[in-house]
Amino acid sequence: MPPGRKVRTESTAGRSVRYALLILSLAIVLIPVYVLVVTSFKGVGDADPSRTWALPQTWSAANWAKAWTALWPAILRTFALVVPSSLISAMLGSANGYVLSRWRFPGSNAVFTLILFGMFLPYQAVMIPLLKIILAMDLPQGIPTLIFLHVVYGIPITTLIFRNYYESVPMELIEASKVDGAGMLRTYWSVVLPISVPSFVVVLIWQFTSAWNDFLFALFFGGGATRGPVTLALNNLANGSILTEYGASMAGALIASFPTLVVYILLGKYFVRGMMAGSVKG
């Protein structure tokens, strides 16, 4: 067999193995989605665990109507939570990242390390002390308190992302603005902030998803299913009756996950670009 023919044969075999692995991975990922979608269209008697993989005997959208009726007020409250918490934490992280990357004051590395330390504290470890602090501050449970918590806990990761990105900004650009008479704040506002779009996309997607999917903070500080975000309402829908309505629960899970799915579909490519933007310096 000619050498060139052998190389092509091995290359085709390698591609076949890769495609097979990709298809297998895709099937594993989509199996839960299949169960969710199929079960959401089943009636109470049909949505039995013994018929998990079977198609509905009678297709019905009643579960979707029930889930939407139960969840839409909480979805509006969740948007009121994730939008300001994402924007505020992104702006604070941007300011922190710029200062820590371009202003080398004594102890700047120690400050950065202490900020990052917040990333490694699990929520469960600080939940009881945090609850006591919130009660001592006399903050009402509900969306405002959750906004405050997600902003605070979002600062470490947003600071890290923006600092890494600003480290890759050419120093000549900063020096040119200083030559034109711009101070530190003017340079940040007029030069650095306009080129920070990739990092803002990453941070906003990250914070949006984190706040939208949060359950632990919502459970402790959300004020119950009638005042809390969609995760509490979804939990109440799943456990709201003695007879578990699997169809309504599955439909509710799909409805609750739809906004984050849309965000990743529309902005996913920008998320990857933004993550890579600060990986190469210069």
Please write the tens of the pLDDT for every residue from 145-195. Answer: 999 999 999 999 999 999 988 888 888 877 788 777 777 778 888 888 888
The reported pLDDT for the residue numbered 190 is 82
Q: What are the angstrom distances between the C-alpha of 218 and each of 144, 157, 158? A: 11, 20, 21
H helix intervals, 41-191: 62-102, 108-117, 123-136, 143-167, 171-179, 184-187
The reported pLDDT for the residue numbered 240 is 59
Both 117 and 7 in one domain: the answer is no
Both 119 and 186 in one domain: the answer is yes
Kindly report the pTM of this predicted structure: 0.84
Burial of 101: CB neighbours in 10 Å, binned 0-12, 13-18, 19+: buried
Query: Domain for residue 82, yes or no?
Result: yes
Number of domains the chain is built from: 2
For residues 17-29, give the mean pLDDT: 91
For residues 113-142, give the mean pLDDT: 86
Query: Domain for residue 52, yes or no?
Result: no
Domain with 232 in it: what CATH number?
A: 1.10.3720.10
Is a pLDDT exceeding 90 seen at residue 86? Answer: yes
Model confidence pLDDT, tens digit, residues 223-264: 887 888 999 999 888 775 545 678 888 999 999 999 998 988
> Do the beta carbons of residue 162 and residue 203 sit within 8 Å?
yes
Query: Domain for residue 45, yes or no?
Result: no
The reported pLDDT for the residue numbered 277 is 63
Model confidence pLDDT, tens digit, residues 2-11: 554 544 445 7
Query: Domain for residue 219, yes or no?
Result: yes
Both 22 and 86 in one domain: the answer is no
Both 148 and 21 in one domain: the answer is no
Q: Which domain holds residue 108?
A: 62-277
CA distance 59 to 41: 5
Model confidence pLDDT, tens digit, residues 41-50: 988 778 777 7
77 token code pair:
């409250």
Query: Domain for residue 57, yes or no?
Result: no
Binned at pLDDT 50, 70 and 90, residue 211 comes out as very high
For residues 203-220, give the mean pLDDT: 92
Is a pLDDT exceeding 80 seen at residue 216? Answer: yes
Both 233 and 153 in one domain: the answer is yes
Express as a percent the part of the chain with pLDDT over 70.
Answer: 91
The reported pLDDT for the residue numbered 7 is 45
Both 173 and 78 in one domain: the answer is yes
Both 106 and 27 in one domain: the answer is no
Burial of 12: CB neighbours in 10 Å, binned 0-12, 13-18, 19+: exposed
Is a pLDDT exceeding 90 seen at residue 78? Answer: yes
CA dihedral 203, 206, 209, 215 (to 10 degrees): -110
* Maximum Cα interatomic distance, the chain, rounded to a whole number of Å: 81
> Do the beta carbons of residue 81 and residue 211 sit within 8 Å?
yes
Q: What are the angstrom distances between the C-alpha of 105 and each of 23, 110, 170? A: 52, 10, 20
